[in-house]
Structure formats: structure tokens, C-alpha cells
Structure 1
Amino acid sequence: MTVTTDNLPLRAATEQFVTVLWNDSADPRELEQSIDFGAVGATCNPVIALAAVKADLPKWAPRIAELAREYPTASESELGWKVVEELSIHAAALLKPAFDASGGRNGRLSIQTDPRLHRDADALVAQAVHFSSLAENIIVKIPATSVGLRAIEEATYRGVSINVTVSFTVPQAVAAAEAIERGLDRRAAEGLPEREFGSVVTIMGGRLDDWLKAWTQKNRILVDPGYLEWAGVAALKKAYAVFQERGFRSRVLSAAFRNHMHWSELQGGDLVVSPPFDWQARINENGIYAEDRISVPVDPQIIETLIAQVPEFVRAYEVDGMTPEEFDTFGATVRTLRQFLDADEQLDHIVRDILLPPV
């Protein structure tokens, strides 16, 4: 899709506010267009990587066959991750000018650690260090689970820029930001080089909305359905305020869009919004121009109703709403990890069909 960039809402917002735009895909065709809209970063995860490979299989099928010849003992999974690495390196090169211009604060390409490692902190750290070596402007995704928090601190200490993922709630975001702070403080205590890490802490606002809708339905709780569209926005605004109050060196990142408010309600803040490319196109097509909304609170009646009727929202909204151990069993965490694991399996199947075509 080609859209002219003159006077587009996304471009206007990136020129007006400190809020920055990242593209929620490493697909080079989408990323190039998003950069025209003003994007200065990109995120990726197993689902997004799978979609990018499927969308351009005529390119990737022969490359996968070539990789299989180069690495004759590599497993299907290892070959699939070689593809993810190549996709990420290419996308990182597109963002290098923004990285240089911002001193490393932006221009980052996110690559996610293998979700199959989610129970092993040491394995997550080792893979994060490896991914960080692929390009200067790589930022590595590690989940906001009890195991992931340990990996986030250690990987930060080892010099890895972090994008916290599988994160949906204020307590997860705060705990992850604190883990990053501990890693940075350990580096400073040992006299390791200080630099701009550009680390971000994602809240997947739309996935929080999805989970609360499923939870209320399962528990037969009737709430104005429009109120549940605001849950993710409320969590993002609350987390942003806490980050500002506590002076965290990481930024909040809004991801998993389900409505344009996950972009428009956050404008004006020093944070990152990362819509999928199709959402960017729709925002432009519908002329949704941004205003400074980050400090405008969600309607108190919505918050009061959700707190009174949806205990699961309280767990997601209050800073101390959950312990790190509870992060692991939070519904949105379980659902998302399962989806990421399924995407890994599907990528394995694509590789398998190329190496061993059905007969």
C-alpha cells in the first residue's frame, strides 16, 4: 500500500510531540512506509515474524533451502530462527539513521527471545547477548515473567538493550523497569561504560482488553462493553505516570492495538507507540489527528466501575496488584505465551515443508 505522507495524522503527531512512533513489524516493505510516516523504531515477535515470512514465501523459501545447505545439521527450529535473525538485521539497517540521529534512544529494531526458553533465565540471557551482537541498534525482547525479570536485570547488566514483552499490567511494567534499573546500577557500580540503552517496557494494552473481556464473560459479569475498551489505556496512562514519578530510565511502549486510543490517548508523553502497519494506515485514512492526551485521565466513572466490578482489572491496574510469581499465571500472559509458542511451531512447519516437501 502506498500512501502519500503530506499532512498525515501520524506524521503530524511525530512532528508535534515527543511521543515516538515505532512500527509493529520488521517486514521491510511495511517498515519503509512506516518510516515515511515518521516511525523511528520497530518491534517484532514470533507471530509477526511468522506473518512476514508467510507474506513473502517466494523470497524466503529458497533462502531457507540455502540456509539448510549452509548448516546441514541445523534443526528446523534453528533454521527458522536464522530467518528471524536475517529479517531483523535487514530491518535494523533501515532504522540505523534514526539510531544515529537520536544517540541510540530510538532507531531500534526489536528481536524477541525464543518463547521456548521462557522457563530458563540463563538461556534467555545468552540468547539476548547473542541477538544484541547482530547489529548495534538491536533491542531484545524478554518477557515480564518471574523468570524473565531475572533475565532482564542480568541482560541489562551485560549491556543488552531491553524491550520488555509479554507485559500487560502496571505491576509487570513497574517490576520490569526496576529490573532494568538494577542492571544499570550494577554496571555503574563496576565502572562499566555508560551509554543510551534506549530500553522500553511494553504494555500490550489490547491484549489486556482481550483478557478482561474473556474474564468477565467467563465469570458472567456484565459491564458496559465500552468500558473494557479503556482498560489498556488506563493501565498505560497509570504506568506512564509511575515511570515519570520514579525517574525510570526506560520508557513505556504501547503495543497490541485494538483501537486507535492505544495511540491517540498517549500522545504528548515521552513514550513509544507501536501500532501494526495496518493500524497506522487506518489512522491516516480516517484523519484521526492527535492532541496532547497523556495527562488527561480516563473517565473516573469507568475506572470506578472496573475497580468495583472487575477484580482482574484491579490486579492489572494497581502497582502492587500482583507479585512476580502471579505474573506467570495471569490470563493474558498464559494466552500470549501459548500464541507465541504456536507461532514458533508454525515456523518449524514452514521450514519442514521446504526441506521435506509433502509427497
Structure 2
Amino acid sequence: MTEALKRLSDEGVAIWLDDLSRKRITSGALEELLREQHVVGVTTNPTIFQKAISAGDGYEEQVADLAARGVTVEEAVRMITTADVRDACDILLPLNEATGGRDGRVSIEVDPRMAHRTDATVAEAKQLAWLVDRPNAFIKIPATRAGLPAITETIARGISVNVTLIFSLERYREVMDAYQAGLEKADAKGLDISQIQSVASFFVSRVDTEIDKRLEALGTDEAKALKGKAAVANARLAYQEYEQVIAADRWKALAGKGGNPQRPLWASTGVKDPAYPDTLYVTELVAPNTVNTMPEATLEATDDHGEITGDTVRGTYQQARADLDAVEKLGISYDEVVQLLEDEGVEKFEKSWTDLLDSTDAELKRLAPKGA
């Protein structure tokens, strides 16, 4: 355990790894990260699985068995991905038990092609929860318009949810409302809501990527001075929204019945612009009761040279608002940017899912019994 990562953890930031593969599981590399680098959770998405399965390490035997059974490519993908998540859940279970269910979590995402269909998303969430069948699994549901009621209905069934692809402050408020509505429904049905957990994945780096591109196009000194500020400002204001929600009477009533706060999770924390410090979206987003899910490169950078100086979020809200307002005054529409990012996020995951299906189909055909 390194000093920087320990300090980050001591500040109340749960360190999660944004990556998973069978090789990482079977080689002991995942256990090593838990033991030595203060990692207490894992997130996955279709892109991560597509890369892992395309690399092929450790999947051949299972794919050959699936090919021999003649399963569809859709079923093969589900069997492969849920097997990885189930095994990772088993590795993280002691952490989950030690933290009262709070950490030691592994996330798996619903089929992104269902992102705009509420009923299909709920059905998929139920199916994934059944397939993984581990108490420390999170089912990831995107925060699209159709995803909001799906979040409520999934939580109402007692299934813990990682809400993903949140870019805007307005959508984040709607996500927190959907979570609370789900807990209220679960409580009304007699479920023990203390057993339900949730995080809300607020995406960070992509905000800078899109807004910086527009600032660069403007080309003025004023515009260039704002580069690299929007993403951190947006996330800090999201934390302000979170603080307001947990201070309200509605949340206090749920907390009194055992409800767990839906922690803000900083996602997409790998820096895209090499001009910025590679730990930017870690060191500038330190606040209690948060999660930071990092690609391995960001985790290693934080380990090596991250400077954790304490809480870098609370007390910054006025400046954060000023930074976003300054971007708006230059004619860059915040609402347009965050909607574009949500749409692109769904499209990217859909493409990764299609690529995953295609590469798995090719492996099924390659490993099919001769003459089949």
C-alpha cells in the first residue's frame, strides 16, 4: 500500500479499478491490487470486456465448451462476462463483508442496446443479477431518460445499482431522485433497504475533451485560459448537489430506515490530454464518501506521484460555478455538450457491444468441433 493511495483512502475516497479480465483474475493480479494498492472495487463496461475477450487470454476453454454446445453468440457473451464478474465478486467478497456491503463491489452493465427501453433494461437487470448471483454485484444502468424509471424499478426489487453515463447536473439530480424513489418503493414492499447499495457514476474527462475542443476553436486568450477547468468544475458542483440531497428531510427519512447514501463515483478519470497532469481527475476530486474508479495507468500514476492534499472539493463551489458560467458566456452551451456526451456514450458502448459479439462469434466458429 503506497502513501498516496492510503492518504486518498483516508480522505474517504474509495479506490476502484476500471478494468477486468480473466487473466487479471486467474493470475492473482487483482488480489495483488487489493492487497497492495488499496483497491476496494471493480467496474466494467462493454468496452472493457470487448478488449479483454479480443485479447483472448484465458477464454479459450470456455469458448470451446460454448461452441460445442452450439449456443448463440448472445448467450456466449453473457456466460463469459458473468463468469468474470462472478469470480471477481468472490475475490472481493471479504472486502464487501468488512465494509458492511459498501465496497468490495463489481459492476456489470446491462446490454447498452437497451439504453432507451425502460422495460427491457429492468428485465435485463433482473437477469444479470440472477446470473451473477453474488451479493456484492452492481448492475450498471445508464442514466438515459428511459433509464431513470428503470433505476427506480430495479432498486425497488432490492437489486443494487451503479448508475452510469451521467454528465449533467440536472440528470444527476434526476438520478438521485430515482434512487430515493426506488428505496421508498422497496421499503413499502417490506424489503430491508439497508441491504441495497448504489453509486452514481459521474463522467469527468470527456467533459473537458468536448469543451476544450470548442474553446480551442474559439482561439482567444480568454477561451484558452478556461481549458481543463470544466470537467473538474462540473464534478465539484455534482458533489454540492449530493450534499444538498443527503441534508434534505426526504433522505433523512430513508436513512432512518437504514438507507445507504448513493455515493458519487468519479468515472472516466483517465486524462485524455497529455498537457494535463495524469492525476488531475484524482487529486482535484478528493471528498469524503466518494468513489474514484481508475484505469490502471491512472492508479499507477497516483501511486507514483499523486499529491493528496486533503479535501479539494468542498469550499470550491463558487469558483466551479464561475468556471462553467465563463464557458457559457463564450457561447458554448453546457446543455448541448452534456446531451451530446450522453448520446455519444451510449453509441460508443453499443459499438463496443457489437464488436464484442463479432469477436466472440469469430472465436466460437474457430473453436467449434470439426464437422459441426
TM-score (norm 2): 0.83
1:292 to 1:347, Cα distance in 2 relative to 1, 3 A = same
Query: RMSD across aligned C-alpha pairs, in angstroms?
Result: 2.3
1:65 to 1:145, Cα distance in 2 relative to 1, 3 A = same
Note the C-alpha offset of 1:315.
6.4
C-alpha distance in structure 1 between counterparts of 2:168 and 2:57, whole Å: 39
**Structure 1, residues 88-115: CA drift from partner, whole Å, max 9, x if none?**
1111112111110111111111100000
Matched, 1:262 2:259: no
Aligned residue in 2 for 1:12: 7
C-alpha distance in structure 2 between counterparts of 1:250 and 1:228, whole Å: 30
Note the C-alpha offset of 1:145.
0.7
1:208 to 1:116, Cα distance in 2 relative to 1, 3 A = same
Note the C-alpha offset of 1:75.
2.0
**Structure 1 letter corresponding to 2:16:** W
C-alpha distance in structure 1 between counterparts of 2:152 and 2:40, whole Å: 25
1:99 to 1:226, Cα distance in 2 relative to 1, 3 A = farther
Aligned residue in 2 for 1:232: 231
Aligned residue in 1 for 2:350: 341
Matched, 1:306 2:327: yes
CA contact under 8 A between 2:105 and 2:137: conserved in structure 1?
yes
1:241 to 1:357, Cα distance in 2 relative to 1, 3 A = same
C-alpha distance in structure 2 between counterparts of 1:221 and 1:334, whole Å: 27
Of the three residues 77, 85, 95, the one matched with 2:74 is 77
**Structure 2 letter corresponding to 1:37:** Q
Aligned residue in 1 for 2:49: 49
CA contact under 8 A between 1:205 and 1:231: conserved in structure 2?
no
C-alpha distance in structure 2 between counterparts of 1:313 and 1:31, whole Å: 38
**Structure 2 letter corresponding to 1:127:** E
Note the C-alpha offset of 1:34.
3.0
C-alpha distance in structure 2 between counterparts of 1:171 and 1:98, whole Å: 33
Matched, 1:158 2:157: yes
Following superposition of structure 1 onto structure 2, how do residues 1-359 of structure 1 map, counting pairs within 5 Å?
A: 5=1, 7-14=2-9, 16-27=10-21, 28=24, 31-35=30-34, 36-55=36-55, 57-70=56-69, 72=70, 74-133=71-130, 134=132, 135-216=134-215, 220=218, 222=220, 224-225=223-224, 227-247=226-246, 249-257=261-269, 258=271, 259-297=278-316, 299=319, 302-313=323-334, 330-357=339-366
Note the C-alpha offset of 1:285.
1.9
**Structure 1, residues 41-69: CA drift from partner, whole Å, max 9, x if none?**
111100111122234x1411332121222
Equivalent position SS for 1:349: helix
Note the C-alpha offset of 1:314.
5.8
Note the C-alpha offset of 1:226.
5.8
1:226 to 1:20, Cα distance in 2 relative to 1, 3 A = farther
Note the C-alpha offset of 1:277.
1.2
C-alpha distance in structure 2 between counterparts of 1:279 and 1:45, whole Å: 17
C-alpha distance in structure 2 between counterparts of 1:292 and 1:92, whole Å: 30
1:63 to 1:315, Cα distance in 2 relative to 1, 3 A = same
**Structure 2 letter corresponding to 1:13:** L
1:287 to 1:270, Cα distance in 2 relative to 1, 3 A = closer
- The number of residue pairs the alignment matches comes to 336
Aligned residue in 1 for 2:254: none
1:61 to 1:147, Cα distance in 2 relative to 1, 3 A = same
CA contact under 8 A between 1:173 and 1:202: conserved in structure 2?
no
C-alpha distance in structure 2 between counterparts of 1:79 and 1:226, whole Å: 49
Note the C-alpha offset of 1:270.
1.2
C-alpha distance in structure 2 between counterparts of 1:58 and 1:270, whole Å: 36
**Structure 2 letter corresponding to 1:25:** D
What stretches of structure 1 of length at least 5 have no aligned partner?
A: 317-326
Equivalent position SS for 2:201: strand
Equivalent position SS for 1:164: strand
Note the C-alpha offset of 1:309.
1.7
**Structure 1, residues 93-151: CA drift from partner, whole Å, max 9, x if none?**
12111110111111111100000111221111111112223211101110111110011
C-alpha distance in structure 1 between counterparts of 2:306 and 2:190, whole Å: 49
Equivalent position SS for 1:59: coil
In terms of mean alpha carbon deviation, does 159-168 or 296-305 score higher?
296-305
TM-score (norm 1): 0.86
Equivalent position SS for 2:350: helix
Note the C-alpha offset of 1:225.
4.2
Equivalent position SS for 2:187: helix
What stretches of structure 2 of length at least 5 have no aligned partner?
A: 252-260, 272-277, 368-372
C-alpha distance in structure 1 between counterparts of 2:285 and 2:180, whole Å: 24
**Structure 2 letter corresponding to 1:307:** E
Equivalent position SS for 2:266: strand
Note the C-alpha offset of 1:31.
3.3
